[in-house]
Chain A
Amino acid sequence: MFHRKFALTAALAAAGMAAFIAPAPAQAQAAEQFVPLLVYRTGQFAPLGIPWADGKQDYLKLVNARDGGVNGVKLAFEECETAYDAAKGVECYERLKGKGTGASGFDTQSTGITFAVTDKAFADKVPVVTPGYGLSQSVDGTVFQWNFPLLGTYWTAADVMVQDIAKKEKGNLKGKKIALVYHDSPYGKEPIPLLQKRAAADGFELSLFPVTPPGVEQKSTWLQIRQQRPDYVLFWSAGVMTPAGIREAQASGYPREKIYAIWWAGSDHDVKDLGAGAKGYNAITIHNSAAMDKVHEELKKHVYDKGQGTGAAGSVGSLAHTRGMMISMLQVEGIRVAQERFGKGKTLTPEQVRWGMENLDLNADRLKALGFGQIMRPVKTTCANHMGNDWARIVQWNGSKWDMKSDWYQADQKHILPLVQELSAKYAKDKNITPRSCS
C-alpha cells in the first residue's frame, strides 16, 4: 500500500518537475505573427467573455482564410484562460509575451489585469491594447507609451452618458439625481472621478452604490434606489451582475428606460433571457449595435461555412462578438501599418507593432473596405493620443433587439483632458518615467 502511494506521488512529482523545466513547445513557425488572446471563458464574467473571445479569434481566422494573413504573414494565436484573475493574467502574460517573434499586443479583457500588466509592459516592451476599458489616463501616449485604450475609455463613456441625459433634460441638469450602481472593483470605480467633476460643474447630485462582486444579490441596492428615486441610474456592471441587476430593477419597479449601462453591460446575452422585462434598458456602445456589415458576411463565408467558427453560429452579430472582432481588426491593422514601415511581408517585433498602433489612420473608406463601414467611425491615433477619436452612441433594448437611440456623440474633453493629464503626471512621477516628447 505504501509503495503504491509513494510511486504515485513520485510520478506526479517527476511530471511536475518536467513541466517547469521543459521549455514550452514552440508553436509559431517562421513567417507567422503571434497574437496572444487572453480570455475568460469561465468565472463570473464568462457570459461576457465567451462571445468576446469568440469574436477576437474569429476575425483572426477570417484574415488568415480570406487574405492569407497580413501581406502573406499568417497570424498565429493562442488563447490563455485568466478567469478575470490578476495572478492568472500575469502568468498568461509571462508565458506568451515572448512567443514567436514576440506578442503583438495584449488585450487583457480586464481592468485589473491591465493594471498588473502595464508595469511589466514598460520593462518588456510589449503593447497593451485595451479598447474601451483599462487605465483611463493611458490615453496620454507621452507617458503610457505601450498602452492603447482605443476608441474610448470609461471617462468618455460616462461623459457621453451624461450628455445624453442632459439632452433628455433639455440641457439643464441642476438638481437632478444620478446614481451610479457599480461593480465594486477598479473596473466599476473608474468613472467616479469624472462623474464627480461633472456633478460639480453641472449641478447634479451623484450618489454611489457599490455592489459586492459577483453581484448576485442586489436587493438592498435597488431598494435604496427605490427609496431615493434618482432620476437616472448609470449601471457599471458585467457578467452575471447585469441580468441580476435588471431583474431586481424590474422587481422593485424602477423604470428600465432610466438605466444607462456601460458597453460591457449592454450586449445581447445580458438581456436576451429577460426579453420584455428589460424593455427600455439603455446601453452605450462604441460601435453600432448589432448592425451586420460586410465583415459578418465574409466571416460566414470564409470561416463558419467551412466549419471553422469558434463559437456557435448564432452568436455572430451579437454586440460582444462584434466588439471582439473589432478589437482584433484594430490589432491587425496596427500590424499592417507597422509592416508598411518596417517591411511588408516580414514578421515584426512588439516594438514595431507598437509603432503601428500609434500611427493608425482608419478613415471611412478604409473601414468600408475592411467591412466595418457601418459598424465603426474613423479612428486615428497619434503619439500623444493613444485613444484615437472616441465616438459612442446610445442603444436601447426593445424586448427583442437593440435599437439605435441617438446619434454619435463625442466626449467633452473639457473635463476629461485635465483629469488625464493630472493622473498620468502622477503615474509618471510614481514610476520615475520621463514623458517622451511627441514632435
Chain B
Amino acid sequence: MGFFLETVLGGLMVGMLYALVALGFVLIYKASGVFNFAQGAMVLFGALAMARFSEWLPRWFGFDSALVANLAAFVVAVLVMVAVAWLVERLALRRLVNQEGITLLMATLGISYFLDGAGQLLFGSATYKIDIGMPKDPLMVLDGVFPGGLLVNQEDLYAALAAALLVATLTLFFQKTRTGRALRAVADDHQAAQSVGIPLQRIWVIVWAIGGFVALVAGVIWGSKLGVQFSISLVALKAFPVVILGGLTSVPGAIVGGLLIGVGEKLAEIYVGPMVGGGIENWFAYVLALMFLLVRPQGLFGDKIIDRV
C-alpha cells in the first residue's frame, strides 16, 4: 500500500512537471491558434541560456555569489526568450496569417529545428548544470503510518509548487490585467478583437513571450532535475498527450491532464510493465489520451468542435 501511494505521489508530481510544459502549448494555441511544435525546442533554448549564462556571467563580471549569478542569468534568459518570441512573430507568424492548421504546424516544426540547431551552436551540446539550490535527497514522510515512511522526491515537490504558483500567477494575469483581457479577446475571435482596436501582432509577440517564459521556467526546473542537454527538448513529446487529453484550449485542462497522465503512466509502468517486459511508459501515455479522446474528441476541457457545413 505504501509503495502504491509513493507511485501515485511520484506520478502526480511528475504530472505537474509535464503540465508545466503543456501550459506553453495551451497558451500559444489559445491566443494565436498555432499548435507550437517548437515548445520543446524553446524549453531547451531557455534551459541552455540559463545554464550557460549562470556560468558565463560570473566569469565575465567577476562576482562569486551563486544567487546573484542565478538571478542575473534568469533575467538574461527571459530577455533572450522575449527576443526569440519577437523574431518568431516577425519573421514567421506574420507572413503565415490565415494559413491552414497543418501549414502553421509545419512552420513551428521548422522553427523547432532552427532553435535546436541555434541553441546548440550558441551554447554547446554537452551536458550543463543548473543549480538553483533544489534539495536532491529524498524526504521520508508518514514514518508512523508506513514502515520506513513514504518516499517523496523533494525536488519534484518544490517543482510542483513552482508550477502551481506559475499557473496561479498566469490566471491572475489573464483575469485582472488589461493585457490579459486583450489576450482572452484574441483567443476568442481574432477578427472581432482586431475590430475593437486590439493590436493583433503585438498581442502575438506577448503571447509567444509568455509561452517562452513558461518554457524557460519548465526548462530551469527540468534542467535542475536532469541536467541540460539536447534531449530535454524531447520532454515536449511527453507533454503532447497531456495537451490533447486536457483539451488544446484549456489551462485547467493542462493541469488535470498532466496529473492524469503522470499517475496513469507511472502506475502502468510499475504494475503492468513487468508483465510485458517493461518500457511501456511512453506509448501508454498516448494510448491513455487516445482512449479519452474517443469518448470526448475535444479533450476533457477543450472547446467543443463545431462544424459548420
Q: Is B193 engaged at the interface, CB distance under 8 Å to the other chain?
A: no
- The answer to whether B127 touches A243, judged by C-beta atoms less than 8 angstroms apart, is yes
Binds B, one of A86-94, A102-110, A210-218: A210-218
CA distance A240 to B273 in the complex (A): 23
Set of chain A residues within 8 Å of B129, measured between Cβ atoms: 273
- The answer to whether A210 touches B231, judged by C-beta atoms less than 8 angstroms apart, is no
- The answer to whether A244 touches B226, judged by C-beta atoms less than 8 angstroms apart, is yes
- The answer to whether A216 touches B120, judged by C-beta atoms less than 8 angstroms apart, is no
Q: Is A50 engaged at the interface, CB distance under 8 Å to the other chain?
A: yes
* CB < 8 Å neighbour of A223 from B137, B225, B270: B270
- The answer to whether A217 touches B277, judged by C-beta atoms less than 8 angstroms apart, is no
Given A217-B281, A226-B151, answer yes or no on A47-B126 (Cβ-Cβ < 8 Å): yes
Set of chain B residues within 8 Å of A47, measured between Cβ atoms: 125-127, 229
Set of chain A residues within 8 Å of B34, measured between Cβ atoms: none
CA distance A211 to B269 in the complex (A): 11
Given A220-B273, A247-B225, answer yes or no on A252-B138 (Cβ-Cβ < 8 Å): yes
Q: Is A380 engaged at the interface, CB distance under 8 Å to the other chain?
A: no
- The answer to whether B238 touches A217, judged by C-beta atoms less than 8 angstroms apart, is yes
**Residue tally, chain A, CB below 8 Å to B:** 35
- The answer to whether A216 touches B270, judged by C-beta atoms less than 8 angstroms apart, is no
- The answer to whether A210 touches B266, judged by C-beta atoms less than 8 angstroms apart, is no
- A240-280 toward B: CB 8 Å interface, digit per residue (1/0)? 10011001001111000000000000000100010001000
Q: Is A239 engaged at the interface, CB distance under 8 Å to the other chain?
A: yes
Given A217-B238, A250-B137, answer yes or no on A223-B10 (Cβ-Cβ < 8 Å): yes
- The answer to whether A223 touches B6, judged by C-beta atoms less than 8 angstroms apart, is yes
CA distance A224 to B231 in the complex (A): 23
- The answer to whether B269 touches A220, judged by C-beta atoms less than 8 angstroms apart, is yes
Q: Classify the secondary structure of B's interface with A.
A: helix
Given A226-B151, A253-B138, answer yes or no on A216-B6 (Cβ-Cβ < 8 Å): no
Given A50-B125, A252-B151, answer yes or no on A223-B7 (Cβ-Cβ < 8 Å): yes
- The answer to whether B127 touches A273, judged by C-beta atoms less than 8 angstroms apart, is yes
Binds B, one of A38-46, A286-294, A388-396, A400-408: A38-46
Docked complex: B208-252 residues within 8 A CB-CB of A: 225-227, 229-232, 234-235, 238
- The answer to whether B137 touches A251, judged by C-beta atoms less than 8 angstroms apart, is yes
Q: Most chain-B CB neighbours within 10 Å: which of A214, A219, A226, A239?
A: A219
Docked complex: B148-201 residues within 8 A CB-CB of A: 151, 153-156
- B261-301 toward A: CB 8 Å interface, digit per residue (1/0)? 00001100110011001110110000000000000000000
* CB < 8 Å neighbour of B226 from A50, A184, A209, A216: A216
- The answer to whether A214 touches B231, judged by C-beta atoms less than 8 angstroms apart, is yes
Set of chain A residues within 8 Å of B229, measured between Cβ atoms: 44, 46-47, 239-240
Given A220-B281, A252-B138, A273-B227, answer yes or no on A227-B270 (Cβ-Cβ < 8 Å): yes
- B92-126 toward A: CB 8 Å interface, digit per residue (1/0)? 00000000000000000000000000001000011
Set of chain A residues within 8 Å of B235, measured between Cβ atoms: 216-217
Set of chain B residues within 8 Å of A216, measured between Cβ atoms: 226, 231-232, 234-235
Whole-angstrom distance between the Cβ of B127 and the nearest chain A Cβ: 5
CA distance A174 to B136 in the complex (A): 34
Set of chain B residues within 8 Å of A223, measured between Cβ atoms: 3, 6-7, 10, 266, 270
Set of chain B residues within 8 Å of A42, measured between Cβ atoms: 120, 125, 230
- The answer to whether B127 touches A41, judged by C-beta atoms less than 8 angstroms apart, is no
* CB < 8 Å neighbour of B278 from A210, A215, A239, A269: A210
Residue of B nearest to A270 (CB): B127
Set of chain A residues within 8 Å of B137, measured between Cβ atoms: 250-251, 253
- The answer to whether A253 touches B127, judged by C-beta atoms less than 8 angstroms apart, is no
**Residue tally, chain B, CB below 8 Å to A:** 40
Whole-angstrom distance between the Cβ of B290 and the nearest chain A Cβ: 18
Docked complex: A27-50 residues within 8 A CB-CB of B: 41-44, 46-47, 50
Docked complex: B3-43 residues within 8 A CB-CB of A: 3, 6-7, 10, 14
Set of chain B residues within 8 Å of A46, measured between Cβ atoms: 125-126, 229-230
CA distance A226 to B270 in the complex (A): 11
Set of chain A residues within 8 Å of B136, measured between Cβ atoms: 247, 250-251, 277
CA distance A50 to B238 in the complex (A): 27
CA distance A240 to B228 in the complex (A): 9
CA distance A215 to B266 in the complex (A): 15
Q: Most chain-B CB neighbours within 10 Å: which of A215, A220, A250, A253?
A: A220
- The answer to whether B126 touches A50, judged by C-beta atoms less than 8 angstroms apart, is yes
- The answer to whether A212 touches B231, judged by C-beta atoms less than 8 angstroms apart, is no
Given A50-B125, A50-B126, A212-B281, answer yes or no on A227-B3 (Cβ-Cβ < 8 Å): yes
- B59-92 toward A: CB 8 Å interface, digit per residue (1/0)? 0000000000000000000000000000000000
CA distance A211 to B136 in the complex (A): 22
- The answer to whether B279 touches A210, judged by C-beta atoms less than 8 angstroms apart, is yes
Q: Is A208 engaged at the interface, CB distance under 8 Å to the other chain?
A: yes
Given A216-B232, A219-B10, A240-B127, answer yes or no on A253-B151 (Cβ-Cβ < 8 Å): yes
Whole-angstrom distance between the Cβ of B241 and the nearest chain A Cβ: 13
Set of chain A residues within 8 Å of B138, measured between Cβ atoms: 250-253
Set of chain B residues within 8 Å of A251, measured between Cβ atoms: 136-138, 153-156
Set of chain A residues within 8 Å of B266, measured between Cβ atoms: 219-220, 223
* CB < 8 Å neighbour of A214 from B151, B234, B277: B234
Set of chain A residues within 8 Å of B277, measured between Cβ atoms: 208, 210
Query: Shortest 5 CB-CB distances between A and B: which pairs?
Result: A220-B269, A46-B125, A273-B129, A214-B231, A210-B279
What are 19 of the A-B contact pairs (CB < 8 Å)? A42-B230, A44-B229, A46-B229, A47-B127, A210-B279, A219-B14, A220-B266, A220-B269, A220-B270, A220-B273, A223-B7, A226-B3, A227-B3, A240-B227, A240-B230, A247-B225, A250-B136, A250-B138, A251-B155
16 further A-B pairs in the complex, CB-CB below 8 A; given A212-B282, A240-B127: A43-B230, A46-B125, A47-B229, A50-B126, A211-B279, A214-B231, A217-B235, A219-B10, A220-B265, A220-B281, A223-B7, A226-B3, A226-B151, A243-B226, A243-B227, A273-B227
